[in-house]
């Protein structure tokens, strides 16, 4: 596995643990369909949460939040609708969250969470 894939997987594990500690119920991770992938699918009460996780070792190439633009957000909303169709459920209230994980490997990773982005 490539180093960036290992870092990304570690970031997703950290983000999932963070969300669970915040009281969210994780229902699926790394869900894929032809249009793309959702990193984490969870429920916050009755609200469906689609979480995009961005992990970096440093801010040398910008903050992880900067990697999620309008096109990515639109794709995440389409993926949320596709996930609901596949599960045979209507469209529950939903939001897209972005979680930034900074993990330089020397200490406790820093986690930042933006709720309801786009």
User: Which residues does 60 contact at the CB level (< 8 Å), separation at least 6?
Assistant: none
Q: Return the CATH class of domain 3-114.
A: alpha beta
Sequence-distant (≥ 6) Cβ neighbours of residue 45 within 8 angstroms: none
For the cut 90, the answer to whether the pLDDT of residue 90 exceeds it is: no
Query: Nearest-CA neighbor of 73 among 95, 89, 56, 92?
Result: 95
Calculate the CA 42 to chain-centre distance: 10
Q: Where are the chain's structural domains?
A: 3-114
Contact 27, 39 (CB under 8 A): no
Cβ–Cβ under 8 Å, residues 41 and 83: yes
Overall average pLDDT of the 108-116 stretch = 95
pLDDT reported for residue 64 = 93
Give percent of the chain above pLDDT 70. Answer: 100
């Amino acid at each position: 596995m490539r180093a960036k894939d290992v870092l990304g997987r570690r970031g997703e594990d950290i983000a999932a643990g963070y969300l669970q500690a915040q009281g969210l119920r994780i229902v699926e991770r790394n869900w894929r369909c032809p249009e793309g992938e959702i990193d984490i699918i969870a429920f916050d009460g009755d609200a469906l949460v689609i979480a995009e996780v961005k992990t970096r070792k440093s801010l040398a190439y910008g903050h992880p939040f900067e990697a999620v633009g309008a096109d990515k957000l639109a794709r995440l909303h389409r993926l949320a609708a596709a996930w609901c169709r596949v599960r045979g459920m209507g469209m529950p209230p939903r939001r897209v969250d972005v979680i930034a994980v900074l993990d330089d490997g020397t200490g406790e990773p820093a986690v930042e969470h933006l709720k309801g982005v786009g």
